[in-house]
Chain A
Amino acid sequence: MTAGLLLDLLLALAVLGTAAWTLAARSQFAAVIGFVVTGLLLTLVWVRLGAVDVALTEAAIGAGATGVILLYVVARLRGGEAEISAATPSRAQRALAALLALSVGGALAYGVLSLPDPAPSLAEAALAGTAPLGLGNPVSAVLMAHRGLDTLLEAIVLVFAVLAVWSMAADHRWGGRPGPVFQREEHGPLSLLARILPPVGIVIGIYIAWVGADSPGGKFQGGTILAAMWVLPWIAGLVRPPSVTDWRLRLMIAIGPLTFLAVGLAGFVVAEGFLAYPPGFAKPLILLIEAAMTLSVAAALACLIAGPPERRRRA
Chain B
Amino acid sequence: MTATTPEGWLLVLALTLPAGAMLLAFVAGGRHAQRIALGALALWLVIAFAIALQVQRGGAPLAYLIGGWQPPLGMALRADGLSAAMLLTGAVVLLAVALFGRAPYATPRGAQETRAAYAYWCFLPALAASLAAAFLGGDLFNLFVALEMLTFTALALACLDGKPSQFKSELRYLLFALIGSVLYLLGAGLLYGAHGTLDIALLAGRTRADAPTLVAGALMTAGLIAKMALFPLHLWLPPAHAGAPAAASALLSGLVVKGAFVLLLRLWFWVLPAPVVLNGGTLLAALGAAAILIGSVVALRQERLKLLVAYSTVAQMGYLFLMFPLLAAGDAETASRAWLGGVLQAVSHALAKAAMFLGAGLIAASLGHDRVAALGGAARVMPITVIAFAMGGLSLMGLPPSGGFGAKWLLLRASVETGQWWWSLVILSGGLLTGGYVYRIVAAALAPPAPGCEARPVPRAQELCVLALALASILLGLVPLKDLGLVRVGAP
Interchain CB contact under 8 A, A275 and B216: no
In whole Å, how far is A132's beta carbon from the nearest beta carbon of chain B?
A: 11
Interchain CB contact under 8 A, B16 and A265: yes
> How far, in angstroms, from A147 to B145 measured CA to CA in the complex?
12
Interchain CB contact under 8 A, A148 and B67: yes
Interchain CB contact under 8 A, B152 and A275: no
Interchain CB contact under 8 A, B194 and A160: no
Interchain CB contact under 8 A, A114 and B212: yes
Interchain CB contact under 8 A, B193 and A112: yes
B126 at the interface (CB under 8 A from A): yes
Interface residues of A in 96-132 (CB under 8 A from B): 104, 107-108, 110-112, 114-116, 119-122, 125-126, 129
Q: Known contacts A111-B216, A153-B146, A267-B67; decide if A147 and B27 are in contact (CB<8 Å).
A: no
Interchain CB contact under 8 A, A274 and B67: yes
- In the complex, which residues of chain B have a beta carbon less than 8 angstroms from the beta carbon of A202? none
What 1/0 flags go to B193-212 for Cβ under 8 Å of A? 11111000000000000111
Q: Known contacts A157-B152, A175-B113, A264-B16; decide if A163 and B122 are in contact (CB<8 Å).
A: yes
Residue of B nearest to A107 (CB): B215
A35 at the interface (CB under 8 A from B): no
In whole Å, how far is A184's beta carbon from the nearest beta carbon of chain B?
A: 28
Residue of A nearest to B12 (CB): A274
In whole Å, how far is B122's beta carbon from the nearest beta carbon of chain A?
A: 6
Interchain CB contact under 8 A, B114 and A163: no
Interchain CB contact under 8 A, B114 and A254: no
- The segment from A60-68, A232-240, A244-252 found at the interface with B is A244-252
Q: Known contacts A153-B146, A174-B113, A174-B114; decide if A146 and B190 are in contact (CB<8 Å).
A: no
> How far, in angstroms, from A107 to B141 measured CA to CA in the complex?
20
Partner of A153, one of B145, B211, B218, B219: B145
By secondary structure, the B interface counts as helix
- The segment from B45-53, B153-161, B290-298, B482-490 found at the interface with A is B153-161
A154 at the interface (CB under 8 A from B): yes
Interface residues of B in 139-177 (CB under 8 A from A): 141-142, 145-146, 148-149, 152-153, 155-156, 159-160, 162, 167
A190 at the interface (CB under 8 A from B): no
> How far, in angstroms, from A125 to B69 measured CA to CA in the complex?
11
What 1/0 flags go to B443-473 for Cβ under 8 Å of A? 0000000000000000000000000000000
A11 at the interface (CB under 8 A from B): no
B416 at the interface (CB under 8 A from A): no
B392 at the interface (CB under 8 A from A): no
- The segment from B70-78, B280-288, B404-412 found at the interface with A is B70-78
Q: Known contacts A157-B145, A167-B156, A171-B114; decide if A104 and B211 are in contact (CB<8 Å).
A: no
Partner of A125, one of B65, B73, B167, B219: B73
- In the complex, which residues of chain A have a beta carbon less than 8 angstroms from the beta carbon of B26? 159, 163, 250, 253-254
In whole Å, how far is B1's beta carbon from the nearest beta carbon of chain A?
A: 15
Residue of B nearest to A308 (CB): B115
Residue of B nearest to A251 (CB): B27
What 1/0 flags go to B245-259 for Cβ under 8 Å of A? 000000000000000
Q: What are 25 inter-chain pairs, A to B, with CB distance below 8 A?
A: A111-B211, A115-B212, A116-B194, A122-B72, A125-B73, A146-B74, A149-B75, A149-B77, A150-B141, A150-B145, A153-B133, A153-B146, A153-B149, A156-B22, A156-B149, A157-B148, A164-B155, A166-B119, A174-B115, A251-B27, A258-B20, A258-B24, A264-B16, A272-B67, A274-B16
Nearest 9 CB-CB pairings of A with B: A120-B196, A111-B215, A167-B119, A114-B211, A174-B115, A164-B156, A275-B67, A160-B152, A274-B12
Measuring CB to CB, which residues of chain B are less than 8 angstroms from any residue of chain A? 4, 9, 12, 16, 19-20, 22-24, 26-29, 64-69, 72-75, 77, 112-116, 118-119, 122-123, 126, 129, 133, 141-142, 145-146, 148-149, 152-153, 155-156, 159-160, 162, 167, 183, 186, 190, 193-197, 210-212, 214-216, 218-219
Measuring CB to CB, which residues of chain A are less than 8 angstroms from any residue of chain B? 104, 107-108, 110-112, 114-116, 119-122, 125-126, 129, 145-150, 153-154, 156-157, 159-161, 163-164, 166-171, 174-175, 245, 247, 250-251, 253-254, 257-258, 261, 264-265, 267-268, 272-277, 313
